[in-house]
Structure formats: structure tokens, C-alpha cells
């Protein structure tokens, strides 16, 4: 494995990635400003608290640690916040990645795996969504990620940068050992919110809209286990090590679960009642978002190991219970 820098390695997906890389025998350095991450989520490697926007410091870190590849998670990622404060998202996401790429060029680092998002597609024109689907983001978060993807492709053409953009659908679940999991503030993701209700940390869960054109009238999303996401990043690093230049890949299970199905899975896993309050639709929620991830399977040799919603919820519940102790 290459000596790897993980930006945002104290965050949700980043911390799981660090754990996998360390277990794979990689020499790992973590760069995180802890604005949303947690120092106690770094379970190995060499941690440095810092900002990717500091080109000089990042270049010096890359050189001193002999970094050969970067896995880039550091970003702002709340859709609602991006609508209220788009400049923050362009400055932190796009501007921060510009600074990171400048530091990489200074240090001679030529490989990067980028944490992108299905939000680059916007409202789906067809399902499942493959990589040829039009990219028409409907919020600044998705727009900032798409701008970075385009920048990586252009830097690949101009400088020979080797880069892979991985477009997540709905990251979910937790480390099966319950050491790591979701700790967002505020929490906006359905599965941890439902499990907080099961644990008694919130009175119940709101379901926004029951009249969508789906099998039970509630929104359908493609949930992908965080451990499977990290394996895909590992496969992308291996793919880049073979001299590949630039491409993008969807990451999803290819089969969605509705809001009500997630709630029922949580009831099965926890054995606890979960109160539901029904509310009107929220603006901007598409009925269904489901990935076609055949390209990642074919090109990267990636195969998700946690395809059913119960296994994803079960691992997330283990982390929720650990937090309660």
C-alpha cells in the first residue's frame, strides 16, 4: 500500500478509512482541523491537526511523511447549510481542494481518491442512476463537489494527475466493532435519527410525505455501508497505482430502502418501539435515488458485502448502544 494521507480522517467515513488502511498495512497520516471530526475517532496512523487550505504546511507534511497518495474526505456536507451559505461551501470544498492540489504538486504527489456524492446528479431523470446520467446539481453542496470533479479531470489532462471520484449515495452503518460511527452535529441522516428514537434519545421520528410514487409512498434511498465505501476507496487506490488517470464511479447497493422500511428494520434490530409522526413533504426531496454501481464492480473489482438494510442498521445500532454506555 502507498504511504497515504487521509484528509478529514477524523470524520465519519474518513475514520473508518483510516482503520481499514492501517489494518491493510499502510503507513497512514491523518490531516483534520476537527471542525466536524473527533480526535478520539482516529484509531491509528499519525494524526496532524491542520487545515488543507494552508498550502505551505500541507506540502511540508506531504514531503516530510513521504506521502504517495491522498484520500480526500475533508469537506462541508450539509445540503441545507449549503443553500443558506453557498460561499462557505465553495470556499471550503472547492477552495480547500485547490489548495490541496497545489500542495500535492509542490510535493510531487500524483494520486488522489476523492470523496464525491450522488448530489452531483440532481433530480434523477432515470433510475437506477449510472455515471452517464446528466450532472445537474440542485444545491451548492452538489455543485461544489461537481466543480472539484471537473477540476480533477482537468488537472489529470494537464499535469498527469491520477484521480478517482467516488460518488456516494447514502453512506450509513458503522464499524462492526462499534468503535466508530456517525456523530454529526446536527444529525440529519435517517438511520442514526431512527436509532436515537429507539434508544430514547429523541421522542420519535418524522416521516416527511407518504404520497410519493414509491412502493409504500415514502422516499426511497440507496444505503451503502460505510465499510463497503472504504473498501471501494482501497480498490480505487490500487486502480490508480496501475497508472490510470481519471474516472468517476458510483457507490451504492443498487437497491433502495424506503423511509418506512428503514423504520421497520430498526424495530426488528432493536426490538424497541419507535414513534412515527407524519408530516408534509419537504421541498426538494426526490421520490427515489438508486445507484447503478456496475462500473465500480467491473473496473475496480468492488463488491459491497452489506447489501441488506438490516445489517447496516444492526452495525449502526451497535455504535448507538456503545455511545449510551
Domains and CATH numbers, the chain: 4-171+224-251 (3.40.50.720), 190-221+254-324 (3.90.25.10)
The sign of the torsion formed by the CA atoms of 45, 305, 254, 263 equals negative
Alpha carbon distance 121, 131 (integer Å) = 9
Contact 145, 116 (CB under 8 A): yes
Catalytic residue among 12, 89, 141, 223: 141
What's the confidence (pLDDT) of residue 283?
83
What's the confidence (pLDDT) of residue 325?
67
What's the confidence (pLDDT) of residue 22?
97
What's the confidence (pLDDT) of residue 214?
97
Low-confidence residues of the chain: pLDDT under 50: none
> Which backbone phi and psi does 49 adopt, to 5 degrees?
-85, 120
Note the pTM of the prediction, 2 decimals.
Answer: 0.96
Contact 298, 159 (CB under 8 A): no
Q: Could you tell me where the DSSP H helices lie in the chain?
A: 12-23, 55-64, 79-84, 86-89, 96-107, 140-159, 190-198, 226-241, 259-270, 294-295, 309-324
What's the confidence (pLDDT) of residue 195?
98
What's the confidence (pLDDT) of residue 307?
86
Active site residue 141: yes
Alpha carbon distance 205, 209 (integer Å) = 13
What's the confidence (pLDDT) of residue 290?
98
Amino acid at each position: 500500500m502507498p504511504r497515504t494521507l487521509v484528509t478529514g480522517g477524523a470524520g465519519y467515513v474518513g475514520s473508518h478509512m483510516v482503520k481499514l488502511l492501517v489494518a491493510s498495512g499502510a503507513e497512514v497520516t491523518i490531516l483534520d482541523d476537527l471542525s466536524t471530526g473527533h480526535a478520539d475517532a482516529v484509531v491509528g496512523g499519525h494524526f496532524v491537526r491542520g487545515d488543507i487550505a494552508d498550502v505551505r504546511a500541507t506540502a511540508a507534511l506531504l514531503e516530510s511523511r513521504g506521502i504517495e497518495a491522498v484520500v480526500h474526505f475533508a469537506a462541508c456536507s450539509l445540503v441545507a447549510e449549503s443553500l443558506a451559505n453557498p460561499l462557505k461551501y465553495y470556499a471550503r470544498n472547492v477552495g480547500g481542494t485547490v489548495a490541496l492540489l497545489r500542495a500535492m504538486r509542490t510535493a510531487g504527489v500524483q494520486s488522489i481518491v476523492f470523496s464525491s456524492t450522488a448530489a452531483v446528479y440532481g433530480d434523477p431523470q432515470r433510475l437506477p442512476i449510472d455515471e452517464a446520467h446528466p450532472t445537474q446539481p440542485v444545491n451548492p453542496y452538489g455543485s461544489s463537489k461537481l466543480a472539484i470533479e471537473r477540476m480533477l479531470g482537468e488537472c489529470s489532462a494537464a499535469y498527469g494527475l491520477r484521480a478517482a471520484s467516488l460518488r456516494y449515495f447514502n453512506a450509513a452503518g458503522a464499524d462492526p466493532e462499534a468503535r466508530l460511527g456517525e456523530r454529526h452535529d446536527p444529525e440529519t441522516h435517517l438511520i442514526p435519527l431512527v436509532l436515537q428514537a429507539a434508544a430514547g434519545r429523541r421522542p420519535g421520528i418524522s416521516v416527511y410525505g407518504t404520497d410519493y410514487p414509491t412502493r409504500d409512498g415514502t422516499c426511497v434511498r440507496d444505503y451503502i455501508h460505510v465499510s463497503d465505501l472504504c473498501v471501494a476507496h482501497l480498490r480505487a487506490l490500487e486502480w490508480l497505482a496501475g497508472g490510470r488517470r481519471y474516472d468517476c464511479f458510483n457507490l451504492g447497493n443498487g437497491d433502495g430502502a424506503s423511509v418506512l422500511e428503514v423504520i421497520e428494520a430498526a424495530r426488528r434490530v432493536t426490538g424497541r418501539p419507535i414513534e412515527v409522526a407524519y408530516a408534509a413533504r419537504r421541498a426538494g426531496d426526490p421520490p427515489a435515488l438508486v445507484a447503478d454501481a456496475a462500473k465500480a464492480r467491473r473496473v475496480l473489482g468492488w463488491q459491497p458485502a452489506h447489501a441488506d438494510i438490516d445489517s447496516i442498521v444492526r452495525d449502526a445500532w451497535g455504535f448507538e448502544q456503545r455511545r449510551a454506555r
